[in-house]
Amino acid sequence: MANKLKSLSGFAGIKGPVLTIVMDGVGIAPDTVANAVAGAYTPTLDAIMAKYPTVTLKAHGTAVGLPSDDDMGNSEVGHNALGAGQVFAQGAKLVTQSIESGKMFASSTWQELIANVKDNSSTLHFLGLFSDGNVHSHIDHLKAMVKQAKAEGVSRVRIHILIDGRDVGETSALEYIEPFEAFLAELRSADFDIKIASGGGRMKITMDRYEADWAMVERGWHTHVLGEGRQFTSAAEAVKTYRDELHVIDQDLPAFVIAEDGKPVGTVEDGDSVIFFNFRGDRSIEISKAFDGDESFDKFDRVRVPKVCYAGMLEYDGDLHIPHKYLVNPPEITNTMSEYLANTGVKQLAISETQKYGHVTYFWNGNKSGKFSEELETYIEIPSDVVPFEQRPWMKCAEITDKLIECMESGEYKYLRVNFPNGDMVGHTGSLAATRCSMEALDLCLARILAVVDKLGGVALITADHGNADEMYEIDKKTGLPKVGKDGSFKAKTSHTLNPVPCIIYDNVTNGAYTVKEDKGQFGLSNVAATMVNLLGYEAPDMWDESIIEVK
């Protein structure tokens, strides 16, 4: 059978279950006041890191397929690498290469989008996350497309901006808006009408994921498409006003509509073209369904559905073909661990709560939404709370643990993987106290899980997909200490970090059947897959990155 694993000679594998635990957003950083991981009371994590073999894994930049080592890792590319055992060029890099080569603008989709607005004397709309965070989007991609649109004779462009404050500084919106307005002013001319038309914080409108809160997408639709909402004369005015009134960070800014003489400047109408310029898929699928969906769409009342030519930056779901049109082909991720295990007859479980459910399924499987085997794979989603994460920092870790233990004790599954979102989702709020609490809740769950691993004669590999909770304040690179703001307080950091992540092999049963290779900084997330199949008693496929262990 194709893609079937071969048994190791001399090591039959672990008798009990083999488990991968992903502590989402938990990196390794110096023990400063900024480090919510080190500052939390985590006796279980502390004990296993001291007692069991632990190496560090690179989880950002080129180690996960991003353009440079200045690029933060994220959960999407991290889980791609964990599940694939290889590094594939990822969204940001693919888009940049496509723009620089001119391939994007020569594509049939781009040509169709441009021809549509020129033929109809209509508007080209750009919608997406407005920053250079390079996790979901990059403002340079937007600028390149705007310039090209003008060069190709488009006469009217409207831009709908989703304010970041999550992958970049929490109150950095004006650092993007003001230079961008100057950029637009230089391009604007008598025959090129270009304006920002609407916007709002990324955690308030449009960018929901995993269908956790369709109301976010509905608010975005009313804002961007229908032009309904509080009106302002500029995006900068909207940001300044909301900050003064609500004292919220950028990701939580309410929706706004730019208007002139009381009328929205950029509603979406029949005959328009719309480009969603995010390259990452998870927060792009729902808004794409709203634009691309037919009359059967029932997630909310769209009120008015303009007939538009819609395209995403990439195809966000390759199995469901969402959206129908896209500008850049996504990476083709093949030969994943799940496929090999299914073909070998190994029964698998994947479990998380809604916020990271897609990461242990879709992303882990190489951006594949279906299963490789209905008989051998079980996916369990624990519904997430729809509340600000700092208000409930334990999230659903106890419920995930309850179900995971039940599945382990059933004896039905040989390989299990679980993601605990706490460190990442709570870390993004910028609340140090809440993030410490999230880590303490996770630690309690680790203790429960590892006790069952021991009881069943299993082994667990405990790691993370990227850092976040390990650096809750902006760090001064020269001093290594948190930056202090104008008001004397530390400046909160809500984005991922560039720090490595731990990889702990919790094993009380094999008695030296293998050794853990020396950590020389050579390992990344893509080395985990080979390690897991070795622990199961199989050789890793030749195309995967090397295992962290050496079987004797």
pLDDT by position in tens, the chain (length 552): 468 999 999 899 999 999 999 999 999 999 999 999 999 999 999 999 999 999 999 999 999 998 788 888 889 899 999 999 999 988 888 999 999 999 999 999 999 999 999 999 999 999 999 999 998 999 999 999 999 999 999 999 999 999 999 999 999 999 999 999 999 999 999 999 999 999 999 999 999 987 889 999 999 999 999 999 999 999 999 999 999 999 999 999 999 999 999 999 999 999 999 999 999 888 999 999 999 989 999 999 999 999 999 999 998 876 578 999 999 987 789 999 999 999 999 999 999 999 999 999 999 999 888 999 999 999 999 999 999 999 999 999 999 999 999 999 999 999 999 999 999 999 999 999 999 999 999 999 999 999 999 999 999 999 999 999 999 998 888 888 888 877 888 988 888 999 999 999 999 999 889 999 999 999 999 999 999 999 999 999 999 999 999 998
Cα angle: 420, vertex 421, 424; to 5 degrees: 135
DSSP 419: E
14 Cβ contact partners less than 8 Å away, ≥ 6 residues apart: 457, 458, 459, 507, 509, 510, 535, 536, 537
Distance CA 536, CA 346 (A): 9
- Candidates 305, 307, 309, 312; CA nearest to 285 is 312
User: In the numeric block, which tokens belong to residue 521?
Assistant: 């900084």
What's the whole-model pTM score?
Answer: 0.76
Residue with tokens 């694939």: 84
Residues pairing with 516 in the sheet: 549
Residues pairing with 461 in the sheet: 20, 505
Cα angle: 378, vertex 384, 385; to 5 degrees: 160
Query: Across 36-89, where does the E strand assignment appear?
Result: 54-57
Q: CA 329 → CA 109, 133, 390, 500, distances in Å?
A: 11, 21, 37, 29
Quote the distance between the C-alpha of residue 548 and its chain's center: 25
| Contact between 514 and 532 (Cβ < 8 Å) | no
Distance CA 100, CA 462 (A): 39
| Contact between 204 and 283 (Cβ < 8 Å) | no
Which residues are marked as active site? 75
Q: CA 484 → CA 435, 478, 488, distances in Å?
A: 20, 14, 6
The DSSP H or E segment spanning 324 is none
At 109 the pLDDT is 98
In this structure, are strands 18-23 and 415-420 parallel, antiparallel, or unpaired?
parallel
CA atoms within 13 A on the CB side of 503: 27
Phi and psi (nearest 5°) for 417?
A: -135, 145
Distance CA 541, CA 3 (A): 8
User: In the numeric block, which tokens belong to residue 534?
Assistant: 């070795």
Distance CA 365, CA 338 (A): 6
User: In the numeric block, which tokens belong to residue 170?
Assistant: 């929490």
Verify cis geometry, omega within 30 degrees of 0, for the bond prior to 323.
yes
> Could you give the domains of the chain?
18-89+332-551 (3.40.720.10), 92-328 (3.40.1450.10)
Helix, strand or coil for residue 323? Answer: coil
Phi and psi (nearest 5°) for 201?
A: -70, 140
Torsion angle of alpha carbons 146, 118, 152, 104, nearest 10°? 70
Q: CA 10 → CA 4, 105, 513, 538, 551, distances in Å?
A: 19, 55, 9, 11, 8
The DSSP H or E segment spanning 429 is none
Distance CA 328, CA 434 (A): 39
Phi and psi (nearest 5°) for 412?
A: -80, -25
| Contact between 251 and 164 (Cβ < 8 Å) | yes
User: In the numeric block, which tokens belong to residue 4?
Assistant: 């079937």
Distance CA 68, CA 448 (A): 39
| Contact between 286 and 299 (Cβ < 8 Å) | yes
